[in-house]
Amino acid sequence: MEPPLFPRESGQFIAERSRDVFVEEEGVQKVAEMLYSLRHSDDLTASGWKKANPLAPAPTSDQALNWVFVVDTMNFSFWPEEETQQCEVTYKGTTYTGYMTLCAAITRAMEEGIPITDPKYFSQMSVEKLAHVLRSDNKTPMPMLQERHQVLTEGGRVLLEHGGSFRSFISRAGNDAQKMVELIVEKIPSYRDEATYEKCSLFQGKRISFYKRAQILVADFWGIMEARGEEDIIDIDWLTMFADYRVPQVLVYFGALRYSGALMQALKNGELLSSGDRREVEIRGCSIWSVERIKDRLCKLVQEKDGQTCNINSAIIDFYLWPYAKQHHKEMAHIPIHHTRCVYY
């Protein structure tokens, strides 16, 4: 079978054929100029990782890497069926929703003495024990408990087969970001975020990939290594943005993406898009390509105005855009988020 296109190539391939989602160069330039003005900020460095992950253990701790593996393995599908019915987790006086409920729940479990970051434990934990770890403050549970249990125990077994920790597992790929992603996708099925379009002429039967969770796992590993001052990871620029449901919203908000009237109306009507739906694929693929265009424009600005080589990559741009979307969600409320219930994002 023909191997899938990697995420960057998938994004370009999709953007060049998309019917309902479009990369807008004027908006791309606008975002690039905004990021250029922030080019010396910590927000556009790998150290921004800790800012985006305030509930993670200290990067220097032994548990940090396994914490990242546990969280990223279950990092999908936090949106509520009804906005007024969100899963909530309170930790140290702060109540969290969305992705941060997972972070808070895992850190809360660690403080309660549950060895949730030990692969020997989470590879065989029961669904009831995971339900206790992920318990909500209210009557709305975290979605997809069975699926989270399946992928976590599966991931734990893989770690046990490769040295017993995420560090020992990922070391098999050396210090190469692309090889890390390929290793994760090869060994852990739930990270295999791919699609095939044999019956859709738009995609010419190509296999495409997004690898959202695999890429963010490598980026988080990189963030921890940077914070520790340990060895550099080569080819980190190979990573793209992490195609989810929050970053496309902020790209539309900035005008770097545009949805067709039909797609916008479908999303406003609350239509759920299945994983692999052409429109869902277009949103994710065009988001990747939009950020690639933003990165290229940003690097051109840095070269032209500063005479320097740009060291801001797509992962760092995502590290900036995702928290921005969370912080400015009220301003973006008029732009619908696409909803797809799956384990990939």
Domains of the chain: total:
1
**Is residue 152 included in any domain, yes or no?**
yes
CA neighbor of 240 nearest in space, from 274, 216, 264, 205: 216
Residue 125 sits in which domain range?
7-327
**Is residue 343 included in any domain, yes or no?**
no
Catalytic positions: 244
Between 224 and 126, the higher pLDDT residue: 126
**Is residue 285 included in any domain, yes or no?**
yes
Q: What is the mean pLDDT of residues 254-280?
A: 96
Is residue 206 a contact partner of residue 248, using CB atoms and an 8 Å limit?
no
Please give the distance of CA 232 from its chain centroid, rounded to a whole number: 21
pLDDT digits 0-9 by tens, 282-307? 999 999 999 999 999 999 999 999 99
**Is residue 319 included in any domain, yes or no?**
yes
**Is residue 336 included in any domain, yes or no?**
no
pTM summary value: 0.94
**Is residue 335 included in any domain, yes or no?**
no
DSSP state of 144: -
| Confidence band of 317 (pLDDT split at 50, 70, 90) | very high
pLDDT digits 0-9 by tens, 21-54? 999 999 999 999 999 999 999 888 876 666 667 8
CA neighbor of 203 nearest in space, from 100, 276, 95: 276
pLDDT digits 0-9 by tens, 52-98? 678 999 888 889 999 999 999 999 999 998 878 899 999 999 999 99
List 21's β-bridge partners, or say none. Answer: 259
Residue 173 has pLDDT above 80, yes or no: yes
**Is residue 70 included in any domain, yes or no?**
yes
**Is residue 337 included in any domain, yes or no?**
no
Q: What is the SS3 assignment for 296?
A: helix
